[in-house]
Structure 1
């Protein structure tokens, strides 16, 4: 049986829901905005400072890029709906 995913933290942000998990030797950084989500996996071995160090990765530049990526993801999804007249 694989190890259970462990909820580590909810990280406040005004434009996306950010949840940090630990699973299978990795930290999973999950960002959600509406129906879209992005998940980043980072090896626990790469971060000697634990989940506190994961939070340092979530700097303003990273989060702004992720929010812009949500906009692009939405545009891509909308465009395929239009192409297929759905």
Structure 2
């Protein structure tokens, strides 16, 4: 996997990668990560179009998903008396 560049964001660490004919967007927040794979053939404008897709409504949904991931993790820890 080839690192392309970081995409600045105040809340998340966002990295753009290229691998096997796909762009891979990795979004990290603390111990959690979300990964999105987009075929290079589906993106006419290359990395600029990928970055344009990371608009505020999308990133708001990403933030909500991270909150749900954390909630799920905490709940399973509580149920199983591990955390």
- Quote the Cα distance in structure 2 between the aligned partners of 1:15 and 1:72: 16
Distance 1:15 1:65 in 2: 13
1:54 aligns with 2:50: yes
Aligned residue pairs total 82
Q: Calculate the TM-score normalised by the size of structure 2.
A: 0.96
By how many angstroms is 1:9 displaced? 1.0
Q: CA RMSD in A?
A: 0.5
Structure 1 counterpart SS, 2:60: helix
Displacement over 4 Å in runs of 4+:
none
5+ unaligned residues in a row in structure 2: which ranges? none
Residue aligning to 1:39: 35
Alpha-carbon distance in 2 for matches of 1:14, 1:66: 14
Alpha-carbon displacement from aligned partner over 1:24-63 (angstroms, at most 9, x marks no partner): 0000010000000000000000001110110011001001
SS of corresponding position for 2:17 = strand
The alignment partner of 2:16 has SS state of strand
Describe the SS at the equivalent of 1:48: coil
TM-score (norm 1): 0.93
Structure 1: unaligned runs, 5 residues or longer: none
